[in-house]
């Protein structure tokens, strides 16, 4: 039998808030066990719309630090109100007898231990555990979400966001699932080491007794494979991986070409110098991203079109000379380029697409967001909105601000605020998954005279 488990406070783990993800079509879980968690959540839900809102909240970074302990996980989730809600989800813990059976299964195969330490959960382990009456993965109805918000949904959008975020954590570390079932990683590895040691001692005694009787020779000393198994079980003696070198604090300046040599015919030294400096800046940004903890599994960026790259270049080097040069050669008016630069700074290619390309959302999407807007609006009834494709324009209600405010739904599932000035719609702030937040901020800004 296993020893008495430590209390929740001793083995609970807190994971920092995960960064937002811009890919609204990417699955929340890449691993098979993460997908099983999502399947259990979605099979238990009574409201697809709330699940969709929960996915949007999770992708936008609304879920704060997640604390995981035996039987439950909890986090603060930022909704449309200023104060975040406290959301949680509980999972039934394994009994002592179930843990005994599970630990025996893990210890029977050294590959199980090696896989868990490498961030993988063997499907054979889960299948064998299920057959032995040890439910590692939750099924429909096994997740019990709760939230401090007044929403009656099961789950509400905030608790759903927490559950989706847990799927991302499970992808990175299968020990999170084992912790939810009742045991922490250190406790598990200590118990596995104890079992392996006891098993080796029992085998040694049996071999010694058999050898003394003269029936069978004593077993030879442990081989290298056995020592490796014991090292994995004890997590001792393994060499530490070298830490990556720290990247430079800033990008290199690039070569100075203006006035340094006679230029080739048709080559502009100033333009070439700018492009070299920009290449150094982008290389530095890619290096920083590659060394970050969130880089693993991140797909390479989609190549930019010439227009997107021109906007990016103008946004990265905000000087009148660069703006004038790009404006004169890109085939767009200075106003169009200025609006594109502002959009780029709020979200890159996706935000630029929101500025330039209207699209028709799937049936029901705008209606669900409209109902959420009515439910989340803090002060009475929200203003009337005129809909055209993915755009909501605030109808004038006796104020100049009303007709100059617009929300646009992006392909990433976020709402982008726009204000009109001299018959031109301008991006006016960062996006948000909640249209109530965007609209309230937008109307406050236009009432205060912000452009």
Q: What is the pLDDT along the chain (451 residues), one digit of tens a residue?
A: 444 455 565 678 889 888 887 666 667 788 888 889 998 888 877 777 788 888 888 888 899 999 999 999 999 999 878 889 999 999 999 998 999 888 888 877 767 777 777 778 888 888 888 888 888 888 888 899 999 988 877 888 999 999 999 998 998 888 899 999 998 888 888 887 777 777 666 666 666 655 555 555 544 444 555 555 555 555 544 566 666 667 666 666 666 655 555 556 666 667 776 777 777 777 777 777 777 666 556 676 778 899 998 898 888 887 888 888 888 888 888 899 999 999 998 888 999 999 999 999 887 888 888 888 887 776 677 888 888 889 999 886 544 445 788 999 998 889 999 998 888 899 988 888 888 888 888 877 655 454 5
Q: How far apart are CA 126 and CA 143, in angstroms?
A: 18
Q: Which two tokens stand for residue 228?
A: 């490796």
Domain boundaries, the chain: 8-188, 269-353, 365-447
Taking the alpha carbons of 378, 379, 385, 391 in that order, is the dihedral positive or negative? negative
Tokens found for residue 316: 């990265």
Query: Quick one: which of 318, 339, 323, 312 has its CA closest to 418?
Result: 339
Check: CB of residue 365 under 8 Å from CB of residue 433.
Answer: no
Rg (CA), the chain: 29
- Residue 137 CA to residue 123 CA, distance in Å, equals 11
| Residue in this structure with the two tokens 């209600």, named with its chain if needed | 397
Give the 3-state secondary structure of residue 154: coil
CA distance 107 to 91: 25
């Amino acid at each position: 039998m296993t020893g008495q488990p430590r209390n929740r406070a001793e083995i609970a783990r807190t994971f920092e808030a995960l960064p937002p993800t811009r890919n609204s079509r990417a699955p929340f879980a890449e691993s098979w066990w993460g997908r099983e968690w999502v399947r259990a959540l979605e099979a238990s839900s009574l409201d697809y719309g709330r699940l969709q809102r929960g996915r949007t909240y999770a992708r936008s970074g609304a879920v704060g630090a997640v604390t995981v302990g035996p039987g439950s996980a909890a986090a603060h989730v930022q909704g449309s109100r200023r104060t975040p809600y406290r959301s949680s989800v509980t999972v039934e813990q394994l009994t002592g007898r179930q843990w005994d059976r599970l630990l025996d299964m893990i210890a029977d195969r050294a590959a199980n231990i090696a896989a868990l330490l490498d961030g993988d959960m063997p499907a054979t382990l889960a299948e064998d555990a299920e057959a032995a009456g040890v439910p590692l993965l939750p099924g429909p109805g096994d997740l019990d979400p709760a939230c401090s918000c007044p929403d009656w949904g099961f789950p509400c959008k905030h608790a759903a966001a927490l559950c989706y975020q847990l799927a991302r954590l499970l992808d990175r570390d299968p020990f999170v699932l084992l912790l939810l079932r009742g045991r922490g990683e250190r406790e598990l590895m200590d118990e596995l080491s104890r079992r392996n040691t006891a098993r080796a001692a029992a085998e040694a005694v049996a071999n010694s007794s058999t050898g003394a009787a003269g029936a069978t020779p004593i077993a030879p000393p442990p081989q290298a494979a056995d020592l490796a198994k014991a090292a994995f079980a004890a997590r001792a003696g393994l060499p530490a991986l070298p830490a990556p070198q720290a990247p430079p604090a800033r990008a290199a300046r690039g070569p100075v070409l203006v006035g340094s040599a006679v230029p080739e015919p048709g080559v502009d030294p100033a333009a070439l110098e700018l492009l070299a400096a920009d290449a150094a800046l982008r290389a530095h940004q890619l290096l920083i991203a590659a060394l970050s903890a969130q880089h693993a599994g991140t797909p390479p960026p989609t190549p930019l079109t010439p227009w997107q790259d021109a906007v990016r270049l103008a946004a990265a080097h905000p000087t009148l000379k660069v703006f004038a040069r790009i404006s004169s050669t890109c085939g767009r008016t200075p106003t169009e380029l200025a609006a594109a630069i502002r959009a780029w700074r709020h979200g890159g290619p996706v935000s630029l697409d929101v500025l330039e390309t209207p699209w028709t959302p799937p049936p029901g999407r705008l209606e669900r967001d409209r109902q959420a807007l009515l439910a989340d609006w803090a002060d009475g009834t929200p203003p009337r909105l005129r809909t055209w494709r993915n755009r909501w324009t605030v109808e004038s209600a006796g104020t100049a601000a009303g007709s100059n405010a617009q929300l646009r739904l992006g392909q990433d599932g976020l709402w982008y605020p726009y204000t009109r000035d001299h018959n031109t719609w301008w991006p006016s702030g960062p996006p948000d998954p909640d249209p109530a937040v965007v609209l309230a901020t937008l109307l406050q800004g236009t009432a205060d005279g912000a452009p």
